[in-house]
Structure 1
Amino acid sequence: MRENSHTSPFASRRGLLFGSAAAGALLATGCTSNESNDDEDTGKQPANAADKPGKKVTIGFAGPQADHGWLNAINEQGKRRAKEYEDVTLVSTEGSNDTAQQIGQIETLINKKVDVLVILPADGKALTRVGLKAMRAGIPVVNLDRIFNSPQAYRCWIGGDNYGMGLNAGRYIGEQLKNKKNAKVVELAGLDNLELTGERTKGFDDALKNYPNIKKVARQAAEFTVESGQEKMSALLQAESSFDALWNHDDDQGVGADRAIKQAGRDEFLMVGGAGSKRVMDAIKADNSVIKATVLYPPTMAASAIDLARALGQGKGVSGLAELEIPASMTLYSAVVTKDNVDEYLPIGFN
């Protein structure tokens, strides 16, 4: 839920969740499991029964500390997907938000001579060097979400679309308010020192340009935590006596925002979340609160990263494409989940 931006068109069907032909083909093909899979387990399509076990592959998996619901879901998705393959051995690190510690963990995986590395760096810029080291050692790197500074540091990047999150949140809100005169919206952003926050805000602002009747009247930056969400939402509510819509960048900090909203007794606006937590999807389905939608930043990207790593280790491409090699990059789509399609997406909602 936390990284670099790539623009994508607006839609909200599960079939467009991965947003590219390559990713869509990947889910149905030779990069998928040799075993059948319950869709509710991973939120992805069942593995292709025709895909036979191949060359044994050892995948090193290095992610940041799972101190956030989305990050924990990343770890769970990756590990669960690896278990579906009898030809995959997964070696995971404990995960750390300390750059030096994560570099050390990845160097240990390099020294173990794993076949492929999947890395979600705590800091893409700071960990570029260790990505380069792995690639130079002949270990392909699947760079997950937070992108390294150099394309030489990874073989394939897969991740979410931060600009697209903001764009689709703005478009959804714009369509809901397009007939309302002098509509007002507010924004509860994430950490302003992260590039991704600026990308989400830019996408949101760009979408609103198409709705001249709507004005963004306030913005607060929180810190992706429950506590910060509650504090900053309280400030927004105090500053604005009424408004028509709220876009909250992150469903985890949205827990605190929801508390502040309930404590203030406010319900005159609609709320759009970000990332796709199960809590928010349940609220959307119940349709008895201000929460009406959430824009996905799917943690299923970790499961697809395992698919890609296995394909790299076995020298496979992506079935359904003419190319012999897997793509260099894959951007997931930021679908909008509403009460009309929430049942489709509930299996990938994270806690």
Structure 2
Amino acid sequence: MTAVSHTLRRRRWALAGTATALALVVAGCTSNTPEDEGTAQAPAVAATGNDEPGDKVTIGFSAPAADHGWMGAITKAAVAEAAKYPDLELVQAEATNDVNLQISQIEQFINDGVDAIVLLPFDGAALTEVATKAMQAGIAVVNVDREFSDPNAARTTVLGDNYGMGVSAGTFICEQLGGKTDAKVAEIAGIDSLPLTQDRSRGFKDALAACGLTVSNRVAADFTVQGGEAAAANLLQAAPKLDAIWNHDDDQGVGVLAAIENAGRDEFFMVGGAGSKNVMDAIKADNTVLKATVIYPSTQAADGIKLARLLVQGKSMSDLVEVEVPRTIQLYAPVVTKENVDQYLPTAFES
């Protein structure tokens, strides 16, 4: 990358917050009236070659500690994706759940003059200020999974769909129960104080309501095997008859399945959440109550790496007509069953 282009791109990110605000004003004044048929013109040349080597890119990457299978997969996938590009240097900070340490890591990236930062913050609100500082320094920030409190602290944000997970799980259960309006449906949530858990539960409740069902029994765990087993044991004791269970998290689902086996219960079917390999293997084998899981992609940081590279090199997403990388990308929450499990196994994470 030449000194001139490097300076221009840094100036571009430093002005990103102002540009975003202006774009919102312009969008509000733009007519939504469609053009007459035949007047719109397709671009002359489709965007291609995004994976071809380009200008050298240095990306700083920081994420929480891998104390959970999904989080471990996040970092592993990001590192593997970065290794595919000879024009990309990844500077990986030590994974940490210490907010102050993560802030100092981002400050170090700023001091080192990296081109972009891909950041999965331990606490989005707490990392907002330092991410804003990076943007003001002309460094493209890609926010992953846990949102900053100010969207202008990032050029692009990559998210899973927590509400959509609940909707997908609830819709699948409705379909499987086939209009049985007196069915007993249970829910084993994650940590109730987290917005992500609240979003998942809200989506689940809304989807069930659409087919005349409600959550008859609900307990919360803590995303751990031990917590899942304890919560499930309490649930099963309180509910002598169930038709379906949705467990929010496949890591804690290892404990949930252990509790179900210990209780000798099999009158219901179970849906998992997140998309672990062991759960997908069980779905494929079809020899437990576990019949499906809902994906919360562990590819988010890997997607962030690809997007950061495109941003720095001034490229767009080749499958879009738009000439800029989008501001927000929310990944889908599909249901994985025995019929389609082979499609999703390659990106499943180890619990």
User: Under a length normalisation based on structure 1, what TM-score does the superposition of the two structures give?
Assistant: 0.85
Q: Structure 1 residues 131, 267: CA separation in 2 closer, same or farther (over 3 Å shift)?
A: same
Deviation at 1:321, TM superposition (A): 2.0
SS of the aligned residue for 1:97 comes to coil
Deviation at 1:320, TM superposition (A): 2.9
Asked if the contact 1:77–1:302 (Cα under 8 Å) also holds between the matched residues in 2, the reply is yes
Residues 120-135 of structure 1 aligned to structure 2 (within 5 Å)? 120-135=120-135
Residues 136-151 of structure 1 aligned to structure 2 (within 5 Å)? 136-151=136-151
For residues 17-55 of structure 1, give each alpha carbon's deviation from its aligned partner in whole angstroms, at most 9, with x where no partner exists. xxxxxxxxxxx9644x3xxxxxxxxxxxxxxxxxx2000
Please name the residue that 1:154 is paired with. Answer: 154
Please name the residue that 1:275 is paired with. Answer: 274
Letter in 2 for 1:59: I
Alpha-carbon separation, structure 2, partners of 1:159 and 1:215: 28
Asked if the contact 1:182–1:215 (Cα under 8 Å) also holds between the matched residues in 2, the reply is no
Q: How many residues align?
A: 304
Alpha-carbon separation, structure 2, partners of 1:332 and 1:230: 29
Q: What stretches of structure 2 of length at least 5 have no aligned partner?
A: 1-46
Letter in 2 for 1:176: Q
Letter in 2 for 1:169: A
Please name the residue that 1:318 is paired with. Answer: 317
Alpha-carbon RMSD across the aligned residues, in angstroms, is: 1.1
Please name the residue that 1:248 is paired with. Answer: 247
Q: Structure 1 residues 304, 29: CA separation in 2 closer, same or farther (over 3 Å shift)?
A: farther
Alpha-carbon separation, structure 1, partners of 2:342 and 2:139: 40
Amino-acid identity (%): 57
Please name the residue that 2:192 is paired with. Answer: 192
Please name the residue that 1:266 is paired with. Answer: 265
Asked if the contact 2:179–2:211 (Cα under 8 Å) also holds between the matched residues in 1, the reply is no
Larger relative contact order, structure 1 or 2 (CA cutoff 8 Å, min sep 6): 1
Residues 1-351 of structure 1 aligned to structure 2 (within 5 Å)? 30-31=49-50, 33=51, 52-212=52-212, 214-351=213-350
Alpha-carbon separation, structure 1, partners of 2:64 and 2:215: 34
Alpha-carbon separation, structure 1, partners of 2:271 and 2:58: 40
Letter in 2 for 1:345: Y
For residues 169-213 of structure 1, give each alpha carbon's deviation from its aligned partner in whole angstroms, at most 9, with x where no partner exists. 00000100123351010000010110010000000000001112x
Alpha-carbon separation, structure 2, partners of 1:264 and 1:91: 48
Letter in 2 for 1:277: S
Q: What stretches of structure 1 of length at least 5 have no aligned partner?
A: 1-27, 34-51
Q: Structure 1 residues 63, 252: CA separation in 2 closer, same or farther (over 3 Å shift)?
A: same
Q: Structure 1 residues 210, 124: CA separation in 2 closer, same or farther (over 3 Å shift)?
A: same
Asked if the contact 2:119–2:141 (Cα under 8 Å) also holds between the matched residues in 1, the reply is yes
Asked if the contact 1:144–1:157 (Cα under 8 Å) also holds between the matched residues in 2, the reply is yes
For residues 82-129 of structure 1, give each alpha carbon's deviation from its aligned partner in whole angstroms, at most 9, with x where no partner exists. 000000000001111111111111111111111000000001011101
Asked if the contact 1:271–1:290 (Cα under 8 Å) also holds between the matched residues in 2, the reply is yes
Asked if the contact 2:205–2:214 (Cα under 8 Å) also holds between the matched residues in 1, the reply is no
Alpha-carbon separation, structure 2, partners of 1:61 and 1:323: 27
Deviation at 1:319, TM superposition (A): 1.3
For residues 249-308 of structure 1, give each alpha carbon's deviation from its aligned partner in whole angstroms, at most 9, with x where no partner exists. 000000111111111011111000000000000000000000000000011122111110
Alpha-carbon separation, structure 2, partners of 1:163 and 1:294: 15
Letter in 1 for 2:55: K
The structure in which a higher percent of residues are helix is: 2
Alpha-carbon separation, structure 2, partners of 1:308 and 1:285: 33
Asked if the contact 2:181–2:211 (Cα under 8 Å) also holds between the matched residues in 1, the reply is no
Alpha-carbon separation, structure 2, partners of 1:55 and 1:312: 11
SS of the aligned residue for 1:126 comes to helix
Alpha-carbon separation, structure 1, partners of 2:188 and 2:177: 18
Deviation at 1:217, TM superposition (A): 0.9
Please name the residue that 1:43 is paired with. Answer: none
Q: Structure 1 residues 30, 194: CA separation in 2 closer, same or farther (over 3 Å shift)?
A: farther
User: Under a length normalisation based on structure 2, what TM-score does the superposition of the two structures give?
Assistant: 0.85
Deviation at 1:317, TM superposition (A): 1.1
